[in-house]
Chains A and B, each alone.
Chain A
Amino acid sequence: MNVNQVAENLALSHQEELVDLPKNYPLSENEDEGDSDGERKHQKLLEAISSLDGKNRRKLAERSEASLKVSEFSVSSEGSGEKLVLADLLEPVKTSSSLATIKKQLNRVKSKKVVELPLNKEKIEQIHREVAFSKTSQVLSKWDPIILKNQQAEQLVFPLGKEQPAIAPIEHALSGWKARTPLEQEIFNLLHKNKQPVTDPLLTPMEKASLQAMSLEEAKMHRAELQRARALQSYYEAKARKEKKIKSKKYHRVVKKGKAKKALKEFEQLQKVNPTVALEEMEKIENARMMERMSLKHQNSGKWAKSKAIMAKYDLEARQAMQEQLAQNKELTQKLQVASESEEEEGGTEVEELLVPHVVNEVQMNVDGPNPWMFRSCTSDTKEAATQEDPEQLPELAAHEVSASGAEERPVAEEEILLREFEERQSLRKRSELNQDAEPASSQETKDSSSQEVLSELRALSQKLKEKHQSRKQKASSEGTVPQVQREEPAPEEAEPLLLQRSERVQTLEELEELGKEDCFQNKELPRPVLEGQQSERTPNNRPDAPKEKKEKEQLINLQNFLTTQSPSMRSLAVPTIIEELEDEEERDQRQMIKEAFAGDDVIRDFLKEKREAVEASKPKDVDLTLPGWGEWGGVGLKPSAKKRRQFLIKAPEGPPRKDKNLPNVIISEKRNIHAAAHQVQVLPYPFTHHRQFERTIQTPIGSTWNTQRAFQKLTTPKVVTKPGHIIKPIKAEDVGYQSSSRSDLPVIQRNPKRITTRHNKEEKL
């Protein structure tokens, strides 16, 4: 579209020109003009005529005359072929002196640049500020390290005096001093001998020399060298990387061959010089050869070989190449056979082994030894057999097993456990009966020293006493009003280690015996509940129902265990004096009875109850918003429906777990100590985002009570110390080692702000 318009316009303009031409002529004839003018006209005419023929019509005519109709496209100074200059316009026909001045002025005007508009005031000020800021900040930035240093300093002492000169060494002060005593002389002799410093204790002459050895220039040179080396290295690396990236196979082949040749040469040289190393090299080469052989390169299986095989029928060269390759292959294989047969055989077996899948080996192993699973069951069987066969002979072993049973036999079926336990207990019972008779003797035997016989007897006696005590206790409990407690007496042993952290292990024979006895006690009790028909109670594992009950009971059991079953020997009390305290047995029995009577079997239950209450009290309460009778029938005895209650019950969020959740014998109060809380920090100080961080920083106490005096003083040093009676002057550049005066930098900007404005103006124009 646009193109058409342009074309039309052009056409129009031409027509106008054509129209104009005849008009122009008479006007121009009227004017007085020189020859040149005439010539021009003539030329124009010629052009006009030539343009008539249509071929070269696009020549735009010069507009030499003001006219009403001005084409926007035809404004040009073209036509004459020469450029119009201002001077041409102003040049009069005849040169006159009066115009010379004007010309000069014009020239001057031309030479002068245009004065730009000044910016408005605000803008200028802004620019000033910006520049001043950037400059100043640049100037001030040199203070940054000093500021940082001061901020990080442990302590600042004002006034910031210069570093006090180090106290001169004592030897300098006492120049007249001489070593007088023989010891001193000896010391100095030693020092002199070893060239140790005598006067200045810090540096030996060697050190001093080494310090002085490297001047600044040297250091610089050294650094430059290092830099150069590093640069070279990086170039080399880059080059290597580039080479590595080259994909051309041919190139690589060439490189490889070159390398191989080089290696060969070196090898030959080595052979001459150092045969042992050469042998090693040889081995290496051999290895390489083997690798190559393994790669099946010469077996006519490659791409190239295949193509050659096709061509070989017709091409003699190809055939030859193939044969060559085959020969090479043969050579390779042949050499292999020659090399070392034993090795080869070994390799073969290895290969065989490799070829044979692992499964076979495993099977073989299985053949060798029994299946681990089978093995395990076998051993356990034997174990069982052992216990069944000779329980009397190996009571200790059995006891060991019992003690370890909890840990070991878990994977086995539970029924089995029960069965075995029962058997073991039976055997143990028998054994303990035997043992009880022979006990004093056995305990005596264990103590080989005769001096301790008395002790052991005592021990035995006390043990008997304890037994009686225990049996009595059981009787009492059987008579007691609380059947639950009694039921829990033979509680399973596995619950025990959960709660109790026994510090001592079964180690001695006696203890083992004791263990057996304990078991026996349990066994004695056993029949009772069975008779009462509470077998289900005895084997709680088999009872699938009522897990809730069990859970509660478990805790109870734990508590019971904790308080009752934990009564290890008082064997440790090897005090001869105590016996006299025992008086006659009966009195003691009586006392014990009394104690048992009020030794509160309810203690545990009471405690648990108390704990439950405490837990309940500390739980957040639910809010019940049900309105009885709203939307339902109301009245006495009518309860809102369950659905409604559910709907309007706002459950309180569950609080954090209690601290005594897993401690059955403890009630820890969850109440907050508000009096202490008043002393605690309640607002987190600013830079911290988490209270733990803050706590971490105040964790270490700083008082002198907990720290040594030095540490305390260091921890509490004030950040700023001012010396009394001194003027604290502001810090100066000279103080910190800067030579340049910072003053001179600032006014420079303010002195010639013009330059800056012009620059800015330019920027604006752009």
Chain B
Amino acid sequence: METAPKPGKDVPPKKDKLQTKRKKPRRYWEEETVPTTAGASPGPPRNKKNRELRPQRPKNAHILKKSRISKKPQVPKKPREWKNPESQSGLSGVSVGPDGCSPVTPLILWFFSKTRSRLEVAEAEEEETSIKAARSELLLAEEPGFLEGEDGEDTAKICQADIVEAVDIASAAKHFDLNLRQFGPYRLNYSRTGRHLAFGGRRGHVAALDWVTKKLMCEINVMEAVRDIRFLHSEALLAVAQNRWLHIYDNQGIELHCIRRCDRVTRLEFLPFHFLLATASETGFLTYLDVSVGKIVAALNARAGRLDVMSQNPYNAVIHLGHSNGTVSLWSPAMKEPLAKILCHRGGVRAVAVDSTGTYMATSGLDHQLKIFDLRGTYQPLSTRTLPHGAGHLAFSQRGLLVAGMGDVVNIWAGQGKASPPSLEQPYLTHRLSGPVHGLQFCPFEDVLGVGHTGGITSMLVPGASEPNFDGLESNPYRSRKQRQEWEVKALLEKVPAELICLDPRALAEVDVISLEQGKKEQIERLGYDPQAKAPFQPKPKQKGRSSTASLVKRKRKVMDEEHRDKVRQSLQQQHHKEAKAKPTGARPSALDRFVR
């Protein structure tokens, strides 16, 4: 009918968005590039909502040697200016669901095309879209701020006061200290838009405020130990892990729910796209609560004692738990056992953090080491540092800065670029607080680091920490109530089922080979023959007496033999491979071996 799809054309490597040159089509027998090598280039289907397009910092344009702080921490402007024209049209009711456009449409097209194979078409489309995406980066007007020392000057020695002095008033107002010595060490959490801040003190003090305007939303004392606090999908709901149970409050401070199935919770994590609240408890259970329907999706027993180290991987929504035996386990609600277990430290794990691209994981343990692991399949440490005091808390910023809280000091490390891991050689910034650190978080879309400690809350300025351009439709710091409501509905409609959480989200776009083969087998059983089997060779009739029975048989025989030979050759090759693999493990036998008993 139409040209059969070329078997050769297959899975070309993921393309970088910026790539404009056409790559040579990849053959399917060629191995796929190991994600570790290609991972640095973010393929289009990254984390679902992770669509802010990252601008590259211009190489030389902004490095001014004279001024220490060459750029103020960015202050986003009004939302109107921020919306891309593209996203705006989406607002006007043309919302298209993720399945509104099936891949069938292009398929029909390719089905009849005789000149271009559909894979080529797909490739061309991909290239085009990636070029368009790269072009649209032009619309991102803001650039990340950064800090640069004068010749040979260590940026770590620049203190907050200096920064505050240098920046404009609006940014300077973002540095503040809340002296709350009464209610013990504080945990804190920023909402997803970065506009609101909630914090809870050990001794029951819970408060939420719009930290930019310093407008208090609510302040209560729950009269119980507060272990952790977290905003749910919007700033209107607040989950507080109290001494016994998990409570949910609204922004007025009114208790909405008391979830008794989650008891003795030590840490909370919220997965925004799945609407799941993950809780780690003293009893050793990891519980997933679906906050959209109020159902517990999964309660997994980690079998590793008390759980008090938890973080989420924003890329694939996998929960990382740190254990006292030095391992970090990766969990998904769909599996009863951990997806992976990584031995990270000799002592127990004290803190875990995963960066926003899901590429790097930072861990610190009781052995005073801070390690950065590569999460792209190898799970090997990329860099290791021994810290004098060990880090008790870790956090990554949106642009990949790593902060560690050690005692009453916070250290911030920065990487070379956006996709590189933070280099632990030299700290980017350090700051000393009035008490030991108890909670850390970078504020999204603001160059601000929030630190909760025994003395209260400190909001630090960290130039270049976060993404300067936000998506007005996704997480808009300036959204009105109406916009928030609309966003909420859309987000709920696009909720990702909990069972889709897996280590490699791209695997979902693959064909389920096992059931495919099973189905094929069953079909063969049902029909009694294989409909897709290759027809046996039938020699063509020939003229001039060459079509005699003998010659026909001979020809058949020839083909059969050829096939047989191929099979033998293949099996031989496999054997060779096996042998080759088996060999190098053993040491070379010595001539003296024969005397060994």
Contact = CB atoms under 8 A, between A and B. Distances in A.
Interface of A: 148, 151-152, 154, 449, 462, 465-466, 499-501, 503-504, 541, 544-545, 547, 550-551, 559, 562-564, 566-570, 572-575, 577-578, 581-582, 595, 598-601, 603-604, 606-607, 610, 659-660, 663, 665-669, 671-685, 687-712, 714-719
Contacts of A688: 5
B85 interface: yes
Interface stretch (B127-135, B437-445, B565-573): B127-135
B116 to A, nearest CB: 8
Interface stretch (B100-108, B213-221, B233-241, B275-283): B100-108
Contacts of A675: 334, 499-500
B327 interface: yes
Given A563-B345, A570-B387, A696 B119 contact: yes
A573 B388 CA distance: 8
Contacts of B86: 704, 708-710
9 contacts: A544-B592, A563-B346, A574-B427, A666-B341, A669-B335, A679-B499, A687-B4, A689-B4, A709-B86
Interface in B95-148: 96, 98, 100-101, 103, 105-115, 118-119, 122, 125-126, 128-129, 132-133, 135-136
A606 B325 CA distance: 9
A592 to B, nearest CB: 9
A628 B327 CA distance: 45
B407 A673 contact: no
A153 to B, nearest CB: 8
B340 A666 contact: yes
Contact of A671 (B111, B335, B366): B335
A600 B347 contact: yes
Contacts of B125: 700, 715
A603 B85 CA distance: 55
Contact of B5 (A665, A667, A693): A693
B366 A575 contact: no
A700 B516 contact: no
A348 B28 CA distance: 61
Nearest to A610: B341
Contacts of A449: 152
A572 B133 contact: no
A448 to B, nearest CB: 11
A567 B508 contact: no
Contacts of B585: 551
A500 B378 CA distance: 11
B385 A681 contact: no
A573 B28 contact: no
Interface of B: 2, 4-5, 7, 9-12, 14, 28, 44-46, 48-49, 51, 84-87, 89-90, 96, 98, 100-101, 103, 105-115, 118-119, 122, 125-126, 128-129, 132-133, 135-136, 152, 154, 156, 325-327, 332, 334-335, 337-347, 366-367, 369, 377-389, 406-409, 411, 423-427, 430, 432, 497, 499-503, 507-516, 519, 585-587, 589-590, 592-593, 596
Contacts of B381: 500-501, 562, 566
Contacts of A660: 340
Nearest to A703: B98
- Pairs of residues from A and B, 10 with the lowest C-beta to C-beta distance, nearest first: A709-B86, A675-B499, A716-B101, A691-B511, A599-B347, A680-B512, A151-B112, A711-B129, A675-B334, A665-B343
Contacts of B84: 709
Contacts of B388: 462, 465, 570, 573, 578, 581-582
Given A568-B384, A666-B341, A697-B119, 13 more contacts: A574-B156, A575-B411, A603-B343, A666-B343, A667-B341, A681-B511, A693-B28, A699-B126, A708-B132, A708-B136, A709-B90, A711-B132, A714-B128
Contacts of B100: 716
Name the residue in A544, A563, A684, A718 with the highest tally of chain B Cβ atoms < 10 Å from its Cβ: A563
Contact of A599 (B327, B342, B366): B366
A463 to B, nearest CB: 11
A695 B510 contact: yes
B446 to A, nearest CB: 23
A697 B118 contact: yes
Contacts of A701: 44-45
Contact of B113 (A152, A466, A697, A705): A152
A712 B98 CA distance: 11
A607 B512 contact: no
B385 A572 contact: yes
Nearest to A560: B346
Nearest to A700: B126
B516 to A, nearest CB: 6
Name the residue in A466, A564, A688 with the highest tally of chain B Cβ atoms < 10 Å from its Cβ: A688
A451 to B, nearest CB: 10
B587 A550 contact: yes
A696 B15 CA distance: 12
A470 to B, nearest CB: 10
Nearest to A601: B346
Given A573-B427, A577-B430, A679 B587 contact: no
Given A663-B380, A700-B126, A719-B108, A581 B424 contact: no
A10 B510 CA distance: 93
A687 B106 CA distance: 13
B76 to A, nearest CB: 21
A711 B133 contact: yes
A603 B386 contact: no
A575 B156 contact: yes
A701 B48 CA distance: 10
Nearest to A545: B596
Given A572-B426, A574-B154, A703-B98, A663 B5 contact: no
Contacts of B106: 697, 715
Contact of A682 (B133, B135, B389, B515): B515
B51 A706 contact: yes
Nearest to A608: B343
Contacts of B337: 669, 671
Contacts of B384: 566-568
Nearest to A668: B340
A707 B380 contact: no
A567 B369 contact: yes
Contacts of B423: 503
Contacts of A578: 388-389, 406-407, 409
A673 B499 contact: yes
Contact of B346 (A568, A599, A680, A707): A599
Contacts of B497: 679
B586 A572 contact: no
Name the residue in A562, A600, A668, A693 with the highest tally of chain B Cβ atoms < 10 Å from its Cβ: A693
Name the residue in A501, A600, A696 with the highest tally of chain B Cβ atoms < 10 Å from its Cβ: A696
Contacts of A500: 380-381
A466 B368 CA distance: 11
A600 B325 contact: yes
B12 A715 contact: no
Contact of A680 (B5, B110, B344, B511): B511
Contact of A719 (B85, B105, B129, B133): B105
Contacts of B383: 503-504
B103 A698 contact: yes
Contact of B587 (A547, A610, A689): A547
Contact of A666 (B51, B342, B511): B342
A663 B378 contact: yes
Given A683-B516, A715-B125, A719-B109, A570 B386 contact: yes
Contact of A692 (B10, B89, B90, B499): B10
Nearest to A672: B514
Nearest to A578: B388
B385 A570 contact: yes
B192 to A, nearest CB: 16
Nearest to A567: B386
Contacts of B132: 707-708, 710-711
A610 B337 CA distance: 13
Contacts of A715: 101, 106, 125, 129
